[in-house]
C-alpha cells in the first residue's frame, strides 16, 4: 500500500518583491497567471500517470509563493479541481493558502472556504509601519489585523501568522508589543523567523553598500528568547525552532518535511522528494511551461540521494523539531546509530549544554535553539 503524499503548489506571482525575499516570483498579470494555471494542470496530470505518484492520497496541500492570495478565485478553483481529479484528497486533508494581508477580502475568504481551503497563513511580518516599509511589504498593520479577524469571521479556525525579528532598528519594546498583540488575536499557530540577508536581494545590496545596518546577532538572540517566553505564556507550544501552535494545531504539511516524508512540488522552482530522490522544477516561468508542454517532468532527471545525504538531511530536519529525534526509530529507518556515528560531536555539545538526551530522544536544549545553526552545521 502506497503511503500518503504531501503536495506543494508554488504560485510565482507578487505585486512587488519584498526587499529581503530571494524566492522565485514574478510581477502578477492575468495573462501570466492564466498560462501558469494551465501548465500546472497539465503537470498534475503528468505526475498522476507516473508509478511514483499514481493512486497516492494527498494528506495535505500547501499553496505557497509568491502571493497565492493574489490569484483570481476562478483560477485557484481550476487548480484545486485539477488536484482532486488526479489525486485522492480526503475530507480531512489540511489545505493551506498563504495570504498577504493587503490582498485579503471578505468575498475571497468565503470563496477560499468553498474551495476547501481550511488553513490560512497570513504574512504579517511586522506591526510597525516603518519596519513594514523597510521590508518592502505592501500592507499596513491595520490591514494585517483586519485580515486575521476577517478570516476568523469567515469561518477559518486554523489561522497562522508569520513574523520577522532581527529587523535593524526593531526595539525590544516594539517586538514585545508585536508579540503581545498577535498572541491576543484569534490565531492557533505562529511562525517567527530571524531576518535572513541574501546578497542578491535589495536588502543585501543596501547592507553591502553601507546604506543600512546589518541585523545585530545579540539583538536577534534577545528577541528570540522573548519569543519563546511570550509564546509559551500565551499557550502557543514550540514544536520546531521557528514554529509554535496550540496543541493539535501544528502545521501538518511542514511536519511532513521535518519527519522526512515524501512530497510533490508543482509549479516553477518547486522542489520534490520522491522515491529517495530530490529534484526541482525549472525556475523560469517560460522554461517551466515549455517543459510541461513537452510532456516532461523534472523527475526524469532526478538523481537519488546517497545514504550519507539521506541520513544527514534526516538528522538536520529532525533536530529542528523541539522533541528532537527518536534514536531507536532513526536507527530502524536508516540503519544508523547516531550516538555511535556522531559520538564526538554529540558529547561535545551535550557538555556545552546545547544538546541533551531526553529519554530516547536527542534534542536541542533551549540554549541550543539559540545556536542551532552552529550545532547543525557540525553534522554536515
* Range(s) within the chain of domains with CATH label 3.20.20.70: 5-258
CB 120 within 8 A of CB 97: yes
Identify which of 118, 42, 54 has the alpha carbon closest to the alpha carbon of residue 78: 42
Bridge partners of 8, per DSSP, are 62, 265
- Provide the grid cell at 203: 536588502
Could you tell me the maximum CA-CA distance found in the chain, to the nearest angstrom? Answer: 58
* Measured distance CA(20)–CA(88) in Å, rounded: 37
CB 235 within 8 A of CB 184: no
Q: How many CA atoms lie within 13 A of 171 on its CB side?
A: 5
Q: What is the pLDDT along the chain (380 residues), one digit of tens a residue?
A: 467 899 999 999 988 878 787 777 888 999 999 999 999 999 999 999 999 999 899 999 999 998 999 999 999 999 999 999 999 999 999 999 999 999 999 999 999 999 999 999 999 999 999 999 988 888 999 999 999 999 999 999 999 999 999 999 999 999 999 999 999 999 999 999 999 888 888 888 888 888 988 889 999 999 999 999 999 999 999 999 999 999 999 999 999 999 999 999 999 999 999 999 999 999 999 999 999 999 999 987 788 889 999 999 999 999 999 999 999 999 999 999 999 999 999 999 999 999 999 999 999 999 999 999 899 988 87
* Measured distance CA(96)–CA(57) in Å, rounded: 16
CB 319 within 8 A of CB 375: yes
Say which residue the cell 531576518 belongs to.
195
* Measured distance CA(365)–CA(243) in Å, rounded: 16
Chain centroid to CA 57? 21
* Measured distance CA(117)–CA(102) in Å, rounded: 19
Identify which of 166, 167, 159 has the alpha carbon closest to the alpha carbon of residue 183: 159
CB 315 within 8 A of CB 331: no
- The answer to whether the bond into 64 is cis (omega within 30° of 0) is no
The count of other CB atoms within 10 Å of the CB of residue 81 is 12
Region of 122 on the Ramachandran plot (φ > 0 left; ψ -120 to 50 alpha; else beta): beta
* Backbone angles phi and psi of 269, in degrees to 5: 70, 5
- Provide the grid cell at 321: 523539531
pLDDT of the residue at 2: 64
pLDDT of the residue at 200: 82
The strand pair at 355-358 and 361-364 is best described as antiparallel
* Range(s) within the chain of domains with CATH label 1.10.10: 310-378
Question: What dotted CATH number matches 5-258?
Answer: 3.20.20.70
pLDDT of the residue at 1: 44
Question: What dotted CATH number matches 310-378?
Answer: 1.10.10
* Measured distance CA(300)–CA(16) in Å, rounded: 34
Amino acid at each position: 500500500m502506497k503511503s500518503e503524499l504531501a503536495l506543494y503548489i508554488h504560485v510565482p506571482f507578487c505585486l512587488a518583491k519584498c526587499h529581503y525575499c530571494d524566492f522565485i516570483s514574478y510581477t502578477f498579470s492575468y495573462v501570466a497567471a492564466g498560462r501558469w494555471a494551465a501548465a500546472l494542470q497539465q503537470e498534475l496530470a503528468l505526475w498522476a500517470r507516473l508509478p511514483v505518484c499514481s493512486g497516492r492520497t494527498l494528506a495535505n496541500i500547501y499553496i505557497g509563493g509568491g502571493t497565492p492570495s493574489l490569484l483570481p478565485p476562478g483560477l485557484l478553483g481550476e487548480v484545486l479541481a485539477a488536484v482532486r481529479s488526479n489525486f485522492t484528497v480526503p475530507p480531512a486533508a489540511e489545505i493551506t493558502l498563504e495570504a498577504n494581508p493587503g490582498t485579503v477580502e471578505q468575498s475571497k475568504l468565503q470563496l477560499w472556504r468553498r474551495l476547501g481551503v481550511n488553513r490560512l497563513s497570513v504574512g504579517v511580518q511586522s506591526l510597525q509601519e516603518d519596519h513594514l516599509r523597510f521590508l518592502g511589504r505592501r500592507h499596513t498593520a491595520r490591514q494585517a489585523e483586519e485580515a486575521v479577524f476577517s478570516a476568523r469571521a469567515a469561518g477559518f479556525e486554523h489561522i497562522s501568522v508569520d513574523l520577522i525579528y532581527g529587523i535593524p532598528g526593531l526595539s525590544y519594546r516594539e517586538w514585545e508589543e508585536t508579540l503581545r498583540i498577535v498572541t491576543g488575536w484569534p490565531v492557533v499557530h505562529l511562525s517567527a523567523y530571524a531576518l535572513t540577508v541574501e546578497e542578491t536581494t535589495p536588502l543585501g545590496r543596501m547592507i553591502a553598500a553601507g546604506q543600512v545596518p546589518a541585523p545585530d546577532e545579540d539583538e536577534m538572540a534577545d528577541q528570540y528568547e522573548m519569543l519563546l517566553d511570550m509564546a509559551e505564556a500565551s499557550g502557543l507550544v514550540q514544536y520546531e525552532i521557528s514554529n509554535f501552535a496550540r496543541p493539535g494545531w501544528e502545521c501538518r504539511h511542514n511536519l511532513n518535511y521535518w519527519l522526512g516524508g515524501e512530497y510533490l512540488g508543482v509549479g516553477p522552482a518547486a522542489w520534490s522528494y520522491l522515491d529517495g530522490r530530490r529534484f526541482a522544477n525549472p525556475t523560469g516561468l517560460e522554461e517551466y511551461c515549455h517543459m510541461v508542454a513537452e510532456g516532461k517532468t523534472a523527475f526524469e532527471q532526478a538523481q537519488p540521494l546517497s545514504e550519507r545525504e539521506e541520513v544527514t538531511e534526516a538528522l538536520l530536519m529532525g533536530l529542528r523539531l523541539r522533541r528532537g529525534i527518536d534514536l531507536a526509530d532513526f536507527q530502524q529507518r536508516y540503519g544508523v546509530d547516531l550516538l555511535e556515528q556522531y559520538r564526538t560531536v554529540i558529547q561535545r555539545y551535550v557538555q556545552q549544554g546545547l544538546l541533551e538526551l531526553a529519554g530516547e530522544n536527542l534534542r536541542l536544549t533551549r540554549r541550543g535553539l539559540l545556536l542551532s545553526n552552529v550545532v547543525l552545521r557540525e553534522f554536515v
